[in-house]
Structure 1
Amino acid sequence: MRRGVAEARFLPFFDDFSQSALYPDSTKWTDCNALVNDGFPLCPPNRNGITLDVLDANGRVYSYAISNAFLAEYLTSVRIRLDSVMEPEPRALTPADSLYLSFYYQPQGNGNAPEEQDSLGLQFGTTVLRQEFLFLDYQNYDIADIFAEMQVDTLFPGDTVWASVGCQPGLFTIVTDTLTPATQGSIAVPCDSVFTTVADTTWYHIWSVPGQTLEDFMNENDGAHFKQVLIPIRDERFFREDFYFRFYNYASIVSSSLPANRSNEDNWNIDFVYLNLGRSVNDTTYPMLTFSGQRPSFFERYQAIPYRQYRINPNSAIRENLHIDIANLDGVDHQANYYYSVQQVGGSQHYTRALEPTTIHPYKTHGYLQCPDYGESPACPYVGELFALSFDYDSVSYLVKHYIYDSTCNPPLTDSMVYRQGMYNYYAYDDGIPELGFGVRPAGGKFAVRFDLAEFDTIAGVQLLFNHTLKDANDKYFDIVVWKDENGRPGEEVYRLEGQRPIWQEMPYQFSYYRFTKPVLLSGAFYMGIEQRSDDLINIGFDASVDNIQYNFINTNGAWQQSSKHGSLMIRPVVGSSYYIGVDENGTSTGTGAFVLYPNPASSTLHLDGDIQDGQVCIYDLTGRRVFEGEYQSEIPVSQLNDGMYFLSITTAEGQVFTQKFIIKK
């Protein structure tokens, strides 16, 4: 019996990572430790990139990370057929077909700069397939049937029982006990040898660059944020049916004298990987119009705002223009049409805003499309309407779709960007991706973020996101503190949740909820933050791609002052309810491993089974309306719900939040 290897891809190979969420496409890449995101890459050619660093697929620092340069992670292609092509007709490939592999890369981006001893590299690989024995496959034979076939009435220790017809010839087993017709049972006899196909890959160094800061990198590359690399494939040993390529990075974390600083470091961003024949060294442009960078928020100040607070003063909450990065990756100008649409999820509000055609110059020479001095363009369209006001819901969300296209080309050039803009029950300055970490020294140091309530409301808790460090050295006690405003700085302390420690979720970029022991009634400006009990850095997540420096404050010597670090602290106050409502806007999964719900679909009762002992259970419909709330129990009545899809969310006593979808069908 033989077990094969995975199917290979034919040329072309292309991935711009725009269609991936968190992990790379498994039909193109064999490993998943490098993460796809739109936060670490700064001004990439198109939306999303992939980041190589010192974190594994779960966001943990590699256990073998050291302060000297070490091999951190790989991004390895699937098997690629470089021996032949099938279209427009089958034929063999040769070096005369002018194969090139190209990609864009960037050190640091919005993250941490790799040192000179660090590096980013590329290798080509070829494989030799061999068969490796796995195990013998046995069949059980009744002892009476063996006596009948062998025409004997007794088997003695040392006798041989051969495999039957249909099995692999020459296989047998040795009897270990005396067997007679009165003996009950069966004998296991080997019937087949099971082998697997093993690919032994030889890797060849092709290209590498040492680490450097983004500033130095841009100075060397005429101000460009990304650099394109084109590598010809001319060596005949690579023109095989088992070709691979892989990126890798060498990294080095800070010394052990600063254990809580040993977190995500030495970031490299890669984008727009393209391998094909018929290319040349001048093949540096592509007939593509594309959205790039991050998804634009409709809010003037926040990335997310509680719906109940938005309803008080919607005019001040919404920005006048959206800010969108758009690139023309072609070598010529294009007259592009642009529009966006907004559709309330489960509601009636819907509008579309279309703009006049706009000339977009090539990204290679002009970068992104720029906003005019006056008016709007696809890079900065006006917000067409305020979000509708409804007092029947705790939260609402909108499906936003942006489109850019040039229909005069054949085929037409087009790109879209689709995401949710939600208003739930929390504030957020950050976009959900922690490019850096934050903390203060010494013990007793504090940091806080300013938020502003449009009217009186209760603060029920806070969502925090902590970075992993090597061996989780930042697992230290801290207090969560709420302050009133005093002349633009934190003033009177109004609440303290003592003796907390970092909580990490099972997947990267997931917040943990810390519920207050009592609601805190506030109005106007307030500050929420942390007082550290340890001299070590707490290493809370810090979003370096969204700058809200004016709202971040530190106190390390008894006096509050504005932080000098540009970015947003990943602190999200939860308003009103004692749990948090939210749909993951980053496209990553919500933790589900702590419980199982069944049946699904359900009609009358939903059963919960898992490790959770107590907590708060809430059910939401697709509009975000809460339709059930109660304490955790193993059976949840759902007969009162209409047919459709719902979200069940459990907030545990420890502050972890788990969410699963289910369907009601009667």
Structure 2
Amino acid sequence: MSKSNKALIAAIVFFISWTSGMAQEELGNLWNRSATGVYLENSEQQYIDAERAEEDVKINYLFNTLELPVVDDFAKYKIKYFVTDTNHASVFDSLTYTFTENGSYTDTLRYVTDTVYNYIFNPSTQKLDSSIAPPIKIRFYLDTTNKFVASDSLIVFPNYSVITQNGISRKQFYQEDSVLVNKITKHYFAYDDDRSLWISEGGFWNRTMGLNPPTVGVITFDGLNSDGKPYDNSSRLTYGAADRFTSKPINLYGDNTGRYTSSDSIYLSFYYQPYGNGDQPEVEDSLVLEFYSPVQKRWNIVWSKKGDTLQEFQQVYFHMADTIYLQVGFQFRFRNYATLSGNFDHWHVDYIRLAKDRRKNDHMVDIAFTKPIRTFLKHYTSIPWTHYKAKPYSYVAENVTYHLRNLDTATALAPSDYKVHLNGQVNPFFKSEVLINIAAPANTTFTEVHSVNSAPNNFIFPIDTNERQLFEINARFSGANDQLPEKENDTLKHVQLFDRYYSYDDGSAEKTYHLNLVGTTVVIEFKTPISDTLKSVMINFVETFEPPSSQKINIVVYKDLNSSPIYQSGPVDVIYNAEGKFHRYHIDPIVVEGQFYVGYQQLDQNKTFVGYDVNYNNQGRTYISQIDGDWTNSIFLGTTMIRASFGDGSEEPLSNEQVVSDNDQLEFYPNPAQDWIKFKQEVNSDIEVYSIGGKLEMREYVIDHLNISNLPNGFYLIRSNKSEVSKLIINR
């Protein structure tokens, strides 16, 4: 169906719905999204938040060349972070000049083009002996595309002669032919990191948009840029090239065994899916794969797929045999063509592998998580800690389910467990029993159910005197025969929040939910075990293509749905945010206990769009009514993003949902140091120390201290394979 026909049919449906009775509620597509994403770890958050440096402080980003194999299942965030701060540890500067004089900088140069002579008085002959003055070689750096390479050169002479008599020299000046005034320019460069693989221009890393992906985590392509905004919303039907997702440069020339050839059997493979949990791409939309040839110095289209209906992830293979690609500096990229006015026409890419010694349709020996863990609680994703402490056994889930896939063609065992950490603690305080004899069926998805608040683990979160609390949970399994060098998809990190609010959603919206009729009310059911004061209602109203207007809603709270509301705000403004970002509507404090309901009533004909989490079904707790007292359950099988809060929002957030620190900065002392540094927590990892120029100076396995006595004084960069880069100064 063409986009114009799609718009026409939508208009017809809209007209019919008004003339024959409009549905009370509908789902739609997000117009934009947050530039960040749920399920990001703290160390990854900065990757998302950063943009490239401003034009007036340009940073030149250096890229490492990747070696085979290049493998990413997108279980972790490996998109290149473009630093913007020139004081960042990875940034260094270098100076360029308009010209140099004999290889050195000088402010001003006066010269003549004719040959100049120097003179020395000879006492024997009582005459001046002459010799040609040393010439000056001027190198010009005027090429704006490369200021570090000389664009031209010139041989000239100084505008004076040196005359020496009786050991005393003086200069005899001439009228110069030209005067050069130099200009110094400072250029900033950023070293590459050794963890990222991709350069993303709009490609969106997430764990919720793909439907039944091969592994947890996908890259999603749509009509939104890297900031989560439409590329072009000048009209609803703007169309064109949208996102690009590009590999770093790759060495496909060869390795220490020799030049790569077709017989090395290098294959690139990936999975793709149209639609997923998003919007169906039309036939004129497409996903495209391009290869960059360092020989031709251009991008070539090698594969494309037209828009299609929902289907399972499909795998595609390419044999890398053409010598125009078997070069140093080869790259590949995905790009999509889509409606540019919003979050439309979705494609999802997963599990990219580029490696040698492969064959077409080969199988992967890998077992992987395919979905994030939603919660360790019954029903809720978060509850107030003070409420939990009143009745902990009634809130902790009896079991938690792992969603997994065996990508191999053979059945395997996948023993699994989980560990629970108190917020900020390195060592877990609880380890579950290991499920040992769990068979992973070949080439299919399967589940493993772990006990939580049931035998044999009988676990509940321990109570304390805090007002709020947070726990980090590492869920893992052991795929003993996995081929991946880093088994990143074998572990999931989940944060269980106990803040001051009740929530059912995971903080990530895939759709929008809206009411169509004036006077319609939607509420969500909650239940508290103690009497407490409800202080606010949190709603994720999301921006849409519709132009902003002064929309009003009525915030409502019910004790039961057979009675009038116990609170109504009266008309208040609809405050729109990006998906997953909640606005807090403060209400007059109300004491509630047991069941209660919070939501809003639509007060005008303009639709109000709320974020909608399609991954978790809370239809039975969502009620709508056009006539007070006449309530029905929602017809949709998801979660409207409305939360009930017993806080006033004055406290700092405990954490973003599903945010776990996996790569914190190393903390050590002293700094500056002399011969030893001591780490504040056990590292149990290889530590690497680099010079400021990027040279690896030492690598050593460290438990809690490091001997640096062999390193000279200076400025260094230090990191482990689990941490961000930190600065180290050695000064003796």
Classify 1:396/1:425 alpha carbon distance in 2 versus 1 (closer, same or farther; 3 Å).
same
Classify 1:498/1:209 alpha carbon distance in 2 versus 1 (closer, same or farther; 3 Å).
same
Deviation at 1:431, TM superposition (A): 0.6
Matched, 1:109 2:276: yes
2:262 to 95, 103, 110: 95
Partners of 1:124 and 1:588 lie apart in 2 by 35
Note the alpha carbon deviations across 1:42-77, whole angstroms, 9 max, x for none.
222222112111222222222257426432211111
Classify 1:585/1:122 alpha carbon distance in 2 versus 1 (closer, same or farther; 3 Å).
same
Partner of 1:385: 459
2:253 to 83, 103, 115: 83
Note the alpha carbon deviations across 1:628-657, whole angstroms, 9 max, x for none.
xxxxxxxxxxxxxxxxxxxxxxxxxxxxxx
Deviation at 1:455, TM superposition (A): 2.1
Contact 1:101/1:276 (<8 A) preserved: yes
Classify 1:102/1:382 alpha carbon distance in 2 versus 1 (closer, same or farther; 3 Å).
farther
1:11 to 68, 72, 76: 68
Partners of 2:456 and 2:533 lie apart in 1 by 33
Matched, 1:246 2:317: no
Classify 1:3/1:267 alpha carbon distance in 2 versus 1 (closer, same or farther; 3 Å).
closer
1:438 to 495, 505, 513: 513
Partner of 1:477: 551
Deviation at 1:545, TM superposition (A): 0.8
Give the aligned CA root-mean-square deviation in angstroms: 3.3
Partner of 1:583: 655
Deviation at 1:4, TM superposition (A): 8.7
Matched, 1:462 2:533: no
Partners of 2:356 and 2:224 lie apart in 1 by 34
Partners of 1:127 and 1:294 lie apart in 2 by 39
Partners of 1:61 and 1:474 lie apart in 2 by 16
Partner of 1:72: 242
| Aligned pairs for 1:577-616 within 5 A | 577-579=648-650, 581-587=653-659
Residues matched between the structures, number: 485
1:60 to 222, 229, 234: 229
2:414 to 336, 340, 344: 336
Matched residue of 1:56: which SS? coil
Partners of 2:64 and 2:262 lie apart in 1 by 24
Partners of 1:367 and 1:466 lie apart in 2 by 35
Note the alpha carbon deviations across 1:322-372, whole angstroms, 9 max, x for none.
0111222223222232121112226898221123422433552x322466x
Partner of 1:552: 622
Note the alpha carbon deviations across 1:274-331, whole angstroms, 9 max, x for none.
1112211131x22223222012411111111111121222222122110111222223
Classify 1:577/1:5 alpha carbon distance in 2 versus 1 (closer, same or farther; 3 Å).
closer
Contact 1:99/1:232 (<8 A) preserved: yes
Contact 1:457/1:576 (<8 A) preserved: no
Note the alpha carbon deviations across 1:516-558, whole angstroms, 9 max, x for none.
1532222222222233344333221100011111112223466
TM-score (norm 2): 0.61
Contact 2:200/2:244 (<8 A) preserved: yes
Classify 1:232/1:533 alpha carbon distance in 2 versus 1 (closer, same or farther; 3 Å).
farther
Deviation at 1:433, TM superposition (A): 0.9
Matched residue of 2:415: which SS? strand
Partners of 1:368 and 1:247 lie apart in 2 by 30
Contact 2:403/2:447 (<8 A) preserved: yes
Deviation at 1:588, TM superposition (A): 9.2
Note the alpha carbon deviations across 1:190-214, whole angstroms, 9 max, x for none.
xxxxxxxxxx952222222222332
Q: Which runs of 5+ in 1 are unaligned?
A: 129-199, 218-224, 254-261, 590-600, 602-666
Q: Which runs of 5+ in 2 are unaligned?
A: 1-58, 82-192, 662-668, 670-732
Partners of 2:563 and 2:597 lie apart in 1 by 6
Matched residue of 2:393: which SS? helix
| Aligned pairs for 1:133-532 within 5 A | 202-214=298-310, 217=311, 225-252=312-339, 263-283=342-362, 285-345=363-423, 350-362=429-441, 364=443, 366-369=444-447, 384-390=458-464, 392-407=465-480, 415-470=490-545, 473=547, 476-487=550-561, 491-496=564-569, 498-504=571-577, 509-532=579-602
What is the letter of the counterpart of residue 268 of structure 1? W
What is the letter of the counterpart of residue 102 of structure 1? S
Percent of aligned positions that are identical = 26
Deviation at 1:457, TM superposition (A): 1.6
Classify 1:21/1:93 alpha carbon distance in 2 versus 1 (closer, same or farther; 3 Å).
closer
Classify 1:55/1:68 alpha carbon distance in 2 versus 1 (closer, same or farther; 3 Å).
closer
Partners of 2:244 and 2:613 lie apart in 1 by 25
1:123 to 275, 290, 295: 290
Classify 1:410/1:20 alpha carbon distance in 2 versus 1 (closer, same or farther; 3 Å).
closer
Contact 1:61/1:468 (<8 A) preserved: no
Partners of 1:72 and 1:406 lie apart in 2 by 38
What is the letter of the counterpart of residue 278 of structure 1? D
What is the letter of the counterpart of residue 557 of structure 2? W
Matched residue of 1:573: which SS? strand
Classify 1:406/1:252 alpha carbon distance in 2 versus 1 (closer, same or farther; 3 Å).
closer
Classify 1:538/1:565 alpha carbon distance in 2 versus 1 (closer, same or farther; 3 Å).
same
Deviation at 1:407, TM superposition (A): 4.6
